[in-house]
Chains A and B, each alone.
Chain A
């Protein structure tokens, strides 16, 4: 299967029973970088959280083994006092960290990506740049062997240089067969790095629920 299919997804709000999304359907090609944009408050973050937690009221997702969300607060995903290498081993500790085994990865996934970006792996994470810490958070999630990553504004807190670093890293990740759906407000970055579909989320004309559009000329 070369596509991930989101079929008739709906999210009904608990407090008033109204639909936040209703019957949203779209397809994403595997191994591409897809982008999602929309105004503040249009429900981008809620859509991503709903997808990753599979908390939608109805509908289905087909074609994904493991999905993970890297949210805006990527700093929360890192142990800042520890090195890049140590952090990578921490991500695969399991639900109940063992009392008898040392934290160690059998093999670091995507070692070549770490090498190609020349990230110093032995210094504490707190001494890395924002872009490098964002890459570390991404790599830590990838050690859990997921194949579809949802990224909520990965460059929101970064300067231009670091934002480009992160997007170049994301692009290389897609070459490894990982599918990405990235929320981003920077149109220039979206135009330059989106290799898959450009999705746009907006509130419908009645203002009652959110609709998802696939922009023309994409995909």
Chain B
């Protein structure tokens, strides 16, 4: 059970770190993470005859492309973020389909060391990058963006720079995670990105239960991913069919949202807010 949690955890962790930045800190309705996840795998696959380092860079580049596209639609064409993310998803679904030609493609790379070692190394790399960014001025600026996007104009801080940096980081990490996921499965499936935003939201909600501080904290996605996969494996132990797990995720998500609203209402009633 622990090894399953570890393997799945290290694969999903970069995605969750990215989701923490865009969904939780920047409070963007970032559906484009699904595209970044798939595009990371597809762009990694494009370099599959190269060494693993190039494949990893390719996957991050795939995620970055999705981030740049969403940013362009939102900032230059002034399309609201949710619509920009939906449009980006559509665009990249077509691009990825064009590249792969079929819905499922085998993706196996010969490695001179074990696969899990690669996954752990890249996850640690992701944590290190996220940790350094989140404790910096930029990390706090990302959190301020989610709190009050108007803030920057009053202090001559570039809102475009803050938003762009956050999106690129988030989507680059999602792309990396998509590549690890495909490598672990041994194939790329065009639908592999579906539902990853729900996974992220659920895991982040679980992680947020332990760390309520509004300052950026890499421990939120880290604890979220651990609790999430413990929960998943626990349910599996009871003989639950995992094909219904999306519904369980949605129920957990709804429960936490309700709890949050309930607590807020209570706080209003007793005059704490």
Q: Which residues of chain A in 97-141 are interfacial with respect to chain B, using CB atoms and an 8 Å cutoff?
A: 97-103, 124, 140-141
Interface residues of A in 74-118 (CB under 8 A from B): 75-82, 86, 90-103
B162 at the interface (CB under 8 A from A): yes
Chain A residue with the shortest CB-CB distance to B141: A97
Q: Which chain B residues numbered 216 to 261 have a C-beta less than 8 Å away from chain A?
A: none
State whether the Cβ of A45 lies closer than 8 Å to any Cβ in chain B.
Answer: no
Q: Does B78 contact A (CB under 8 A)?
A: no
**Residues in A whose Cβ lies below 8 Å from that of B148:** 75-76, 78-80
Contact B155 A100 (CB under 8 A): no
Q: Which residue in B136, B150, B153 is a CB contact (below 8 Å) of A97?
A: B136
Asked if A49 is at the interface (CB within 8 A of a chain B CB), the reply is: no
Residues of A within 8 A of B151 (CB): 76-79, 90
Is the CB–CB distance between B154 and A98 below 8 Å?
no
Looking at the complex, which one of A75, A82, A95, A99 makes contact with B157 (CB distance below 8 Å)?
Answer: A95
Chain A, interface size category, equals: 20 to 34
**Bound-complex Cα distance A80 to B214 (A):** 10
Residues of B within 8 A of A96 (CB): 157-158, 161
A contact residues around B141 at 8 Å (CB): 90, 93, 97
Given the complex of chains A and B, what is the CA–CA distance between A103 and B135 in angstroms? 8
Are A144 and B133 interface neighbours, CB within 8 A?
no
Known contacts A80-B147, A81-B147; is-contact A144 B137 (Cβ 8 Å): no
Q: Are B154 and A97 in contact (CB under 8 A)?
A: no
* A137, chain B: closest CB distance, angstroms: 8
The CA-CA distance from A76 to B159 in the complex, in Å, is 14
Q: How far is the CB of B129 from chain A (nearest CB, A)?
A: 10
Q: Separation in Å of the A13 CB from the closest CB of chain B?
A: 23
B158 and A99 contact, CB distance less than 8 A: no
Q: Chain B residues with Cβ under 8 A from A76's Cβ?
A: 148, 150-151, 153-154
Q: Within 8 Å CB of A90, what residues of B?
A: 140-141, 144, 151, 155
Closest to A73 in B: B150
Q: Which residues of B contact A79 (CB under 8 A)?
A: 143-144, 147-148, 151
Beta-carbon contact of A97 and B138 below 8 Å: yes
Least distance between A115 CB and chain B CB atoms (Å): 24
Q: Judging by beta carbons under 8 Å apart, are A102 and B158 in contact?
A: no
- Is B114 among interface residues, defined by CB-CB distance under 8 A? no
Q: How far is the CA of A124 from the CA of B138 in the complex (A)?
A: 20
Q: Do B133 and A99 have beta carbons less than 8 Å apart?
A: yes
B137, A98: Cβ atoms closer than 8 Å? yes
B156 near A: Cβ within 8 Å? yes
Identify which of B138, B143, B153 contacts A98 (C-beta below 8 A): B138
When distances are taken between beta carbons in the complex, the residues of chain A under 8 Å from B138 are: 97-99
Please, which residues of chain B bring their CB within 8 A of the CB of A99?
132-133, 136-138, 165
A69 closest partner in B (C-beta) = B154
List, in ascending order, chain B residues with CB within 8 A of A81's CB.
143, 147, 214
B155 touches A91 (CB 8 A): yes
A52 to B: closest C-beta gap in Å: 11
Which residues of chain A have C-beta atoms less than 8 A from B158's C-beta?
A: 95-96
A79 to B155 alpha-carbon distance, docked (Å): 12
Q: Give A103 to B140 CA distance when docked, in angstroms.
A: 8
* A98 and chain B: residue at smallest CB distance: B137
- Indicate if the CB atoms of A140 and B155 lie closer than 8 Å: yes
Nearest-neighbour CB distance to chain A for B163, whole angstroms, equals: 12
Other-chain residue from A73, A98, A124, A140 in contact with B214 (beta carbon distance below 8 A): A124
Report B77 CB to chain A, min CB distance, Å: 24
B136-181, CB < 8 A from A? 136-138, 140-141, 143-144, 147-148, 150-151, 153-158, 161-162, 165
The 10 lowest CB-CB distance pairs between A and B, nearest first, are: A97-B137, A81-B214, A76-B150, A97-B141, A79-B144, A97-B138, A77-B154, A98-B137, A103-B137, A79-B147
9 CB contacts below 8 A, A to B, read: A80-B147, A82-B144, A86-B140, A90-B140, A90-B151, A95-B158, A97-B157, A99-B165, A100-B132
16 further contact pairs, Cβ within 8 A, besides A97-B157, A99-B137, A101-B136 = A76-B150, A79-B143, A79-B151, A81-B147, A82-B144, A82-B215, A86-B140, A90-B140, A93-B155, A94-B157, A95-B157, A95-B158, A97-B140, A97-B162, A102-B137, A103-B137
